[in-house]
């Protein structure tokens, strides 16, 4: 059985991005972590809802979610600007 | 009336006769990631040989009049008769002609045929008789593919597995904790193992942290440095 461990190159990219974000927040004078929480306010709760309450129950459910996302992408995508 | 020219119809047809594990995008969506997928990947019980596998699949697949087998990658049409040799060599073929392509694996990426029984047993049962691999087996199929499109899946699955491990590892017996760590760990998981009541698990956590750090993982290196860990 193969053991899964994170890829070091990917970890380096994630670490670099994490450090960059922290540095940018410092430059912007923002506290580390969530700004609302740091200011003693409540953090905005997660407002996402599952596609299917209770999760996927069948192969067909997973296909249905994929199809809904395809439709949403087609509906909301920004039109390609005309080439002048 | 039900449309018989769909991937769902095909998968349910197969699942009535053989054990079917979903893989790829469908399995990742089933685990909770919101994303779309162009095709559907399934791992059908590899049985004892490619010939036996094809013999079991033929009557099911050929009963679907629009199903057309093609080679993965080249997308050249295949005759059903040519399938056993293709399966022997590549371990997978694609079925076109349905509402979406279905890639049918006998041997998927990174999961040996011999592990089908274990993957099936550890998998999550769905109502249609198929199973999805547990989160770590699915992660293993995404390991070392080199495909950019797998990055999002890996991030989601790693986070999900890590969350489970961080919740379960501290209270796990030494035997269970060792078994868990033999399958999966991250720097955070290994750090959590450092606080396990059993010395053997604490040592394992330290060893894994040192290995990750030596491989260049900066998160692990930071933990090693902060905790003054060493291999001696």
Given a cut of 90, whether residue B31 has pLDDT beyond it is yes
Read off the pLDDT of residues B182-214 as tens digits, 9 standing for 90 and up: 999 999 999 999 999 999 999 999 999 999 999
pLDDT of residue A67: 95
Given a cut of 80, whether residue A80 has pLDDT beyond it is no
Nearest to B24 by CA among B39, B45, B11: B39
- Which of B26, B34, B218 is the closest to A59 by Cβ? B26
pLDDT of residue B193: 97
Q: How crowded is residue A45: how many other Cβ atoms within 10 Å of its Cβ?
A: 6
Q: How sure is the predictor about A84, in pLDDT bands with cuts at 50, 70 and 90?
A: low
pLDDT of residue B173: 97
Number of residues in chain A: 84
Name the more confident of B73 and B167.
B167
pLDDT of residue A81: 74
C-alpha span between A16 and A69 (Å, rounded): 31
Given a cut of 90, whether residue B3 has pLDDT beyond it is no
Give B 28-67 residues with CB within 8 A of chain A. 29-30, 32, 34-37, 40
Read off the pLDDT of residues A37-68 as tens digits, 9 standing for 90 and up: 888 888 888 888 889 999 999 999 999 999 99
pLDDT of residue B161: 97
C-alpha span between B187 and B162 (Å, rounded): 10
Read off the pLDDT of residues B69-78 as tens digits, 9 standing for 90 and up: 999 988 899 9
Number of residues in chain B: 232
C-alpha span between B44 and B46 (Å, rounded): 6
Q: What is the dihedral of CA B209, B213, B216, B217, to 10 degrees?
A: 50
Given a cut of 80, whether residue B145 has pLDDT beyond it is no
Q: What interface predicted TM-score (ipTM) does this complex get?
A: 0.89
The residue with tokens 């699942």 is: B15
CB-CB neighbors (< 8 A) of A7 in chain B: 143-144
> Under a CB-based contact definition with an 8 Å cutoff, are residues B205 and B193 in contact?
yes
pLDDT of residue B1: 62
Given a cut of 90, whether residue A1 has pLDDT beyond it is no
pLDDT of residue B144: 74
Mutate which: B23, B31, B126, B208, vs A, most A CBs within 10 A: B126
Element (H, E) at A29: none
Nearest to B43 by CA among B143, B127, B153, B138: B138
Name the more confident of B150 and B136.
B136
Give B 84-113 residues with CB within 8 A of chain A. 100, 110-111
List CB contacts of A63: < 8 A, sequence separation 6 or more.
B7, B8, B26, B40, B100
Read off the pLDDT of residues B84-130 as tens digits, 9 standing for 90 and up: 999 999 999 999 999 999 999 999 988 999 999 999 999 999 999 99
Pairing of strands B131-132, B124-125: antiparallel
Give A 63-82 residues with CB within 8 A of chain B. 63, 65-67, 69-70, 73
């Amino acid at each position: 059985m193969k053991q899964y461990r994170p890829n070091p190159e990917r970890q380096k990219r994630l670490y670099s991005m994490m450090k960059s974000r922290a540095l940018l927040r410092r430059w912007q004078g923002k506290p580390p972590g969530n700004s609302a929480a740091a200011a003693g306010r409540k953090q905005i709760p997660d407002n996402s809802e599952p596609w299917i309450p209770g999760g996927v129950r069948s192969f067909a459910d997973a296909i249905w979610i994929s199809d809904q996302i395809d439709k949403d992408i087609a509906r909301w995508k920004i039109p390609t600007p005309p080439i002048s | 009336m039900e449309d018989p020219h769909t991937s769902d119809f095909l998968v349910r047809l197969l699942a009535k006769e053989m054990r079917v594990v979903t893989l790829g995008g469908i399995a990742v969506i089933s685990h909770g990631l919101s994303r779309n997928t162009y095709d559907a990947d399934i791992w059908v019980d590899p049985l004892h040989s490619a010939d036996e596998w094809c013999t079991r699949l033929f009557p099911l697949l050929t009963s679907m009049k629009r199903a057309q087998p093609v080679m993965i990658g080249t997308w050249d049409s295949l005759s059903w008769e040519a399938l056993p040799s293709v399966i022997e060599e590549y371990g997978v073929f694609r079925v076109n002609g349905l509402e979406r392509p279905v890639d049918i694996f006998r041997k998927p990426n990174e999961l040996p045929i011999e592990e089908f029984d274990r993957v099936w047993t550890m998998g999550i049962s769905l109502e249609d008789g198929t199973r999805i691999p547990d989160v770590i087996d699915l992660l293993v199929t995404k390991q070392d593919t080199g495909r950019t499109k797998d990055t999002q899946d890996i991030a989601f699955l790693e986070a999900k597995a890590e969350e489970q491990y961080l919740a379960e590892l501290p209270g796990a017996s030494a035997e269970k904790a060792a078994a868990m760590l033999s399958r999966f760990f991250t720097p955070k998981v290994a750090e959590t193992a450092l606080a396990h009541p059993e010395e053997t698990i604490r040592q394992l956590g330290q060893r894994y942290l040192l290995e990750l750090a030596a491989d260049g993982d900066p998160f692990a290196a930071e933990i090693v440095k902060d905790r003054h860990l060493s291999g001696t």
